[in-house]
Amino acid sequence: MRPATLEFLKQRFTEYYEKGYLSEPSALSQREWGFIFFDASSEVRMRRHMAFADGRELRSYIRSMVPAHVYYSTAYYEMPGAPTMGEKFWTGADLIFDLDADHIMRGSYTDMLKRVQEETIKLIGMLTDELGFRHRDVSVVFSGGRGYHIHVRDIAIREWGSQERREVIDYVCGTGIDPGVMLSARPGMPGGWQRRYIDALREHLLWLSGLERGDAMRYLTGFERIGEKTASGFLDGIEPLLMHLQEYRTEGLSHNRMLRAIVAAEEGDLADRVREQAARADEPVTTDTRRLIRMPTSLHGGSGLRAAPLAVKDLPEFDPLVDAVVFGTRERKVDMRAALTMPILGNAYRLTKGVNRVPEALAVFVCCRGMAEIAGGGG
């Protein structure tokens, strides 16, 4: 990054931190803090093991140092500023879920933002509707990059260790699902993972029923110990089976030899469909009881977007490239490394390689992303 670009970004971040409202986490004085700076050397990537007595001290530090990234611990400590983890004396931690579009799909930035938003809504539904977490204890934050953080602050689970947290993340990610349990007959309408599994199986069998018979036979006889007679009989009876699954009736399914072979496959089309039903959260983040997480309302040094806290009810309508943008439309010049089409603040911009005039919000974004340098006359 050229010195002029670095100075441009530091000035814009200074502007925001001097004027912008900075929220602070609960029990601020019990948190460890970490910072990455724009001019950080490769030897000292993050300055951490820091603590602040109150919000005024924290805000003063941020406004004077102007970090590119601000993090605090999900954990609570007796001595958060101690130089080693063993000296901090851990007393508990929030339950955190991190959804990053990079771990879900590849595509344009806008497509990735849309997909990860859908996954976040799915995960929140699992936490509140199936695992019983209260809505008031669940908060969601757009990370400022390509994802969302979900914070669950409930005193009853604060002292959970990694194993208890592992059980929660295994549930939402669908780890260790037993097909036999999923297809076992139970009274009443199934919910949770049983319902999701049956939906995935029905979708898979609908796909199979739509194939040419020869293609379907080749697929079915590809399973170990499945001959043409078994495969043909299964195809002949697939319509009644689909009706049973549509009505979530699972009695007798475990006796179907062909179906047992299909659901027993650990990889393949059905396994992929089941994975699509899971929440795509980053498992190590949830199980880590000493994790640092980005501070809501701070700026993301890799995008210039705000780590935006929002109400769960507002998530479906949230547009990060409008609602998390804090800079305006003042014109700036940037020298693009390559062509780019980018929507921001409700408008789409087509940038060519070389010098372009763009609104300041877009200039900050492409410079933070390393896609451009600030050009001469850029203000």
Q: State the catalytic residue, choosing from 282, 314, 319, 335.
A: 282
- Strand order of the β-sheet with 309-310 is 95-100, 147-152, 138-142, 309-310
Taking the C-alpha atoms of residue 161 and residue 165, their distance in angstroms, rounded to an integer, is 6
Query: Across the strands, what pairs with 147?
Result: 100
- Whether the CB-CB separation of 265 and 223 falls below 8 Å is answered with yes
Query: Across the strands, what pairs with 306?
Result: 299
Q: Is 248 helix (H, G, I), strand (E, B) or coil?
A: coil
Catalytic (active site) residue 98: yes
Taking the C-alpha atoms of residue 45 and residue 35, their distance in angstroms, rounded to an integer, is 9
| Region label for 180, one of left (φ > 0), alpha (ψ between -120 and 50) or beta (otherwise) | alpha
For residue 90 the two structure tokens come to: 């851990």
> Any residues with CB less than 8 A from the CB of 316 and at least 6 apart, and which?
117, 121
Q: State the catalytic residue, choosing from 54, 94, 98, 288.
A: 98
Residue 209, CA distances (Å) to 203, 204, 206, 247 in order: 10, 9, 5, 18
| Region label for 170, one of left (φ > 0), alpha (ψ between -120 and 50) or beta (otherwise) | alpha
Q: State the catalytic residue, choosing from 39, 54, 100, 269.
A: 100
- Whether the CB-CB separation of 371 and 352 falls below 8 Å is answered with no
Catalytic (active site) residue 100: yes
**152 C-beta neighbours (distance < 10 Å), count:** 20
Query: Across the strands, what pairs with 310?
Result: 140
- Whether the CB-CB separation of 143 and 94 falls below 8 Å is answered with no
What's the chain's length in residues? 379
Q: Is 71 helix (H, G, I), strand (E, B) or coil?
A: strand
The DSSP code sequence of 187-222 is SS---HHHHHHHHHHHHHHHHHHTS-HHHHHHHHHT
Catalytic residue numbers, as ranges: 98, 100, 282
